[in-house]
Amino acid sequence: MSRWLRAVVAAAALLAGLLPLFARAQVNGDPPWGRPDAIVDLRTPAGVELLQGAWRYHDARLVQVTGRAPGKDLRPSGGPVSTFDIDPRPDADASRWPVVAPPALEDRRGNGKVSFGWYRLDFTLPAAVGPVATSGATVVFEVVVDDYAEVWVDGALRATLGQSGGGVVRGFNAPNRVVLSQDARPGQRFSVGVFAFNGPLSAAPNNFLWIRSATLDVYRRPSPSRLPAAELLVQRLDPELDAILPPGTPLEQLATGFGFTEGPVWHPDGYLLFSDPNENTLYRWTPDGQVSVYRTKSGYMGVDISEYKQPGSNGLTLDAQGRLTINQHGERRVIRIEPTGQVTVLADRYQGKRLNSPNDLVYRSDGTLYFTDPPFGLPRVFDDPRKELPFSGVFKVKDGVLTLLATDLTGPNGIAFSPDERFLYVTNWDEKKKVVMRYPVLADGTLGPGTVFFDMTSAPGEEALDGMKVDRAGHLFVSGPGGVWVLSPAGKLLGIFRGPELAANMAWGGPDGQTLYLTARTGLYRLRLGVPGIRPAPVAVR
């Protein structure tokens, strides 16, 4: 085992030096689609005829309606106010709208200045597009509108906070790409509504509305956004690992080119959020391969930010209401983002002294938040003059009260509950004490004396213990020296696995929670495992 680990650590050091030279950051909303296997030009009669479709158009206008002013809850719960809406609405019956011949999509429409219009395309997916069968294919609708566009599919606008492109406005004459299906079936019906408008709105132009291009791109492979498969090294020490990580499981590289990826969490609306504390940015990855900035200045906005190595957000999680909770290194606090967008500070001081730099966090089922607070986010770490607490702590927040639970670790880092919540596990980032601690959880939510659950101190390399997650069967997945260590509920090492980069943290995701997403230095990866994991916010957020 020692010889294998030494080789892995050496390879990691080499890769860490080489990867920045070749990494290509995919953070602008443009996944590496590559060339489609077939293209349907929707501005031609032949293209629209192939889909048994028809274009229609209707001018849209602002209409005066009665709305509600913001109330004390910052929602539209106040008194009635006069405001505006769009007419017709995107779900309007378009059957009587004038049909537009495909070549006429380039005709200028609207009245110039601030004007709006709806293009509607209803079509049926054929069995094949040229030589390419559509069954199981990925189908993408792309449109370029002069000047701006929003794309509705089957009456829905696929929009999330911070999104740029896809269904929402991408930019001036920029392509909007919307994945219609990643597992297409012949005969599927789609209704695509393109809301077009002139812009910039604050500098109303003299031009008019028209479609520069519109295509249906078909890819034989189901996921054109994936990067090449990455090598997965697995050391199997116990047959039990085969049911957890089946032999031959591929490691997928999803995105690369980041500063240092950390703190992932799967959102029940179907995307992954993760931090880059080095770049002070919180990103979102969606299954169609797009990576976009979810929150800028995610952890710090101080004038002295140049002194910090990791000023940004680190650990992320969701509460039972689906509210995002963030550990902010630079601001040295734990915050929650409310549905209104407001920031609620959950913890920033203990007994009047500022926290160090909250690292990782987890909610208990009763709503209590537990988090670790080492000083790793401070510029000079333990020796930083800004450090106010004389210890690194494990804390809990319940009903607005911050309670110190443990101070026996120099670098408490990853944190997770056992499936029955009888125990709290905490990893230690300390080269001299690479341990996973286990604390009994008492009736009032405090912790009993901790014991060493697993000791990795003898493992070679400078890497200590980082993030950690637990599956529903109680297995621990721990970011440790040389890779991710898989431990049984009884504390037995079942095996170690790693890809080309050492994972800092992990999150369970996908529809069934059986996919493990890994944030690993400059990249984002995933593994399809044989067991589902424990993840927050089990219900969808709307």
For 372-437, the DSSP string reads EE-STTSTTGGG-TT---SS-EEEEEETTEEEEEE---SSEEEEEE-TTSSEEEEEE--TT--EEE
Q: Span 253-259, mean pLDDT?
A: 93
Residues 71-93, mean pLDDT to the nearest whole number: 93
State the average pLDDT over residues 297-322.
Answer: 95
What's the DSSP call for residue 209?
B
**How much of the chain is in helix, strand and coil states, percent to nearest 5?**
10, 40, 50
Q: What is the pLDDT of residues 492-523, one digit of tens each?
A: 999 999 999 999 999 999 999 999 999 999 99
Residue 29 confidence class, pLDDT cut points 50, 70, 90: very low
Q: What is the pLDDT of residue 19?
A: 31
Query: Is residue 25's pLDDT more than 90?
Result: no
Q: Which residues pair with 116 in a beta bridge?
A: 60, 197
User: How confident is residue 15, by pLDDT bands cut at 50, 70 and 90?
Assistant: very low
Confidence tier at 32 by pLDDT (50, 70, 90): very low
pLDDT above 80 for 228 = no
Give yes or no for residue 13 having a pLDDT over 60: no
Question: pLDDT tens digit string along 279-291?
Answer: 999 999 988 788 8
pLDDT interval class at 224 (50, 70, 90): very low
User: Which position has the higher pLDDT, 29 or 357?
Assistant: 357
| DSSP state at residue 13 | H
Residue 18 pLDDT more than 70? no
Range in 90-104, 487-501, 524-538 with the lowest mean pLDDT: 524-538
Higher pLDDT, 182 or 85: 85
Poorest-pLDDT segment among 209-213, 266-270, 354-358, 534-538: 534-538
For residue 6, what pLDDT band results from cuts at 50, 70 and 90?
A: very low
From the list 488, 453, 452, the residue with the least C-alpha distance to 470 is 488
In this prediction, residue 501 carries a pLDDT of 95
pLDDT the model gives residue 341: 86
Q: Decide if pLDDT at 27 tops 70.
A: no
pTM here? 0.82
Taking only the tens place, the pLDDT of each residue in 375-388 is 999 999 999 999 99
| pLDDT for 7 beyond 50 | no
pLDDT score for 230: 84
In 3D space, the residue among 151, 140, 146, 142 whose CA is nearest the CA of residue 118 turns out to be 151
Sorted by sequence, the CB contacts under 8 Å of residue 333 that are 6+ apart come out as: 345, 346, 347, 348, 355, 358
Which residue did the predictor score with more confidence, 289 or 278? 278
Asked if 308 and 297 count as a contact pair (C-beta separation under 8 A), the reply is: no
pLDDT band at 226 (very low <50, low <70, confident <90, very high): low
List of domains in the chain: 2-31+225-468+516-528 (2.120.10.30), 38-219 (2.60.120.260)
Q: What angle do CA 508, 511, 512 make, to 5 degrees?
A: 65
pLDDT at residue number 290: 80
Per-residue pLDDT, 538: 54
- Asked if 427 and 413 touch (Cβ cutoff 8 Å), the reply is yes
In terms of pLDDT, which residue wins out, 223 or 535? 535
SS3 at position 20:
helix
Q: Note the pLDDT of residue 158.
A: 82
Q: What is the pLDDT of residues 435-484, one digit of tens each?
A: 999 999 999 999 999 999 999 999 988 789 999 999 999 999 999 999 99
